[in-house]
Amino acid sequence: MKITDAKVIICSPGRNFVTLKIYTDQGIYGLGDATLNGMEKSVATYLTDYCIPALIGKDPRNIEDIWHYFYRGVYWRRGAVSMCAVSAIDMALWDIKAKTLNTPLYNLLGGRSRDKILVYAHSNGANIDETIENVGKKIDEGYKAVRVQCGIPGLSDAYGVAKEKKSYEPAHKGLPPEEKWDTSLYLNFIPGVFEKIREVYGSDVHLLHDVHHRCTPVEAARLAKELEPFHLFWIEDPVACELQESLRLIRQHSTTPIAIGEVFNTVYDYTLLFTEQLIDYIRMPLSHGGGITHLQKVAAFASFYHIATGFHGATDLSPITLAAALHFNTAINNFGIQEYMPHQKIVNEVFKINYKFENGFMYIDDSPGIGVDIDETAAARFPYVTARLPVNRKSDGTMFNW
Ligand code: EZ4
Ligand code: CO
């Protein structure tokens, strides 16, 4: 079997997606998601100009070797752009292999470990009352787990809060918008939000919260400790985690579970976090963390330390990543939870999907491969639109983490 050609499809049905399509001499093709929010064209160029010419002629069945060709074989390895490209290649190759064997992807990853995939919804509000009302809506829709973000009094911007009651999408046209941030206002306010939510909805619903890299270790420790009585499923990205050691401080002070890694892209971002059991959930998604081949190894490594998966699943990951994640989550033992932010309906004009949400869980059907297809004629109707993620400054103007 040989790879005969490959191409990158960029489209923007409501938001940008980059898709890699790999063709073979057996008429079977595979799809991989190469979307990197706000940096789409860098990955597309890397794939088109550097990776695709080297892919042509290779045997697509040799996934492990091809993975190492584009990881180990590349002198300037790692980093978000190149790992996103490696991930897309890897996903497309697994798609080809499973289609060739006429079986759903999860069968090749160990078969079924569970019938359904627990997911968490996003909920947010400009103020506490709106937030409480919106959490209730998600519970009514059947969700068993809800991520809660809330506007902070005195702050014009808070991470994860939709503007003008639209659905939350952080990327905006033109130059990056500048947001304003104040950690002490945030820290003083957020524990009260969760206290109120527990009062209103009781203790059964799983509650999650994304700190989005905005605390120092000692601030994060305070937050995790003050949230402890409200039994969160997790707090996410409590600190900007280039320094893995900083998690020790949070861990020493609190039993609030911690999820980290949506901006990570290899196992080397996780080694200390795993071996010292400093976190509870892996966020690194298949589309940024080296695809199925690398995440299988990362998840296996994590499993020995009682750490589970909780993959990133924002709308900036395409339906291909979500479907691949559902296969992966179906197969592995140490699955924890999957983030689920439904794509706008218009996305389904381009991507034909094979999963559904029902009563708090997601289900993937048994179509061969990853099971998502792309309609290229429809994709051509939605040309790429430049959109950038925001930057963030403290209220005195100091550059900060977004
Ligand atoms: O800000 O995917 O947990 N989810 C998140 C996301 C990220 C976006 C960035 O593109 O933190 O909403
Ligand atoms: Co996040």
**CATH architecture of structural domain 3-104:** 2-Layer Sandwich (3.30)
Helix (H) or strand (E) holding 199: helix 183-201
pLDDT along the chain (402 residues), means of 10: 98 98 98 98 98 98 98 97 98 99 98 98 97 98 98 94 81 93 98 98 98 98 98 98 96 98 98 98 98 98 98 98 98 98 97 98 98 98 97 96 97
Q: What are the structure tokens assigned to 96, written together?
A: 């080809």
pLDDT at 167 (0 to 100) = 77
Closest CA to 316 of 4, 37, 66: 37
Per-residue pLDDT tens over the stretch 197-225: 999 999 999 999 999 999 999 999 999 99
Q: Among this protein's residues, is 305 annotated catalytic?
A: no
Q: Whose CA is nearest to atom 2 of ligand 1?
A: 314
Distance in angstroms (rounded) separating the CA atoms of residues 238 and 241:
8
**CATH architecture of structural domain 108-367:** Alpha-Beta Barrel (3.20)
CA of 237 to the centre of ligand 2 (A): 7
Domain locations in the chain as residue ranges: 3-104, 108-367
Closest CA to 94 of 26, 19, 22: 22
pLDDT at 165 (0 to 100) = 67
**Does ligand 1 lie within 6 Å of residue 40's CB atom?**
no
Longest dimension (CA), the chain: 61
**Does ligand 1 lie within 6 Å of residue 149's CB atom?**
no
- Rounded to an integer, what is the distance from CA 177 to the centroid of its chain? 22
Distance in angstroms (rounded) separating the CA atoms of residues 382 and 9:
11
Distance in angstroms (rounded) separating the CA atoms of residues 301 and 307:
9
pLDDT at 169 (0 to 100) = 87
CA distances from 209 to 145, 160, 232, 256 (A): 11, 10, 8, 11
Residue 300: how many CB atoms within 10 A of its CB?
12
CA of 271 to the centre of ligand 2 (A): 20
Q: Whose CA is nearest to atom 9 of ligand 1?
A: 37
Q: Among this protein's residues, is 212 annotated catalytic?
A: yes
Distance in angstroms (rounded) separating the CA atoms of residues 284 and 266:
8
Residue 291: how many CB atoms within 10 A of its CB?
30
Distance in angstroms (rounded) separating the CA atoms of residues 365 and 371:
8
Residue 284 CB contacts under 8 Å (≥ 6 apart), including other chains:
261, 262, 264, 265, 269, 270, 295, 298, 311, 312
Phi, psi angles (nearest 5°) of residue 335:
-75, 140
Its pTM stands at: 0.98
pLDDT at 224 (0 to 100) = 98
pLDDT at 162 (0 to 100) = 86
DSSP E strands, 182-334: 206-210, 234-236, 258-260, 281-282, 308-309
Q: Which amino acid is at 377?
A: T
In this chain, the answer to whether the domains covering 3-104 and 108-367 adopt an identical fold is no
Q: Which residues partner with 337 through β-bridges?
A: none
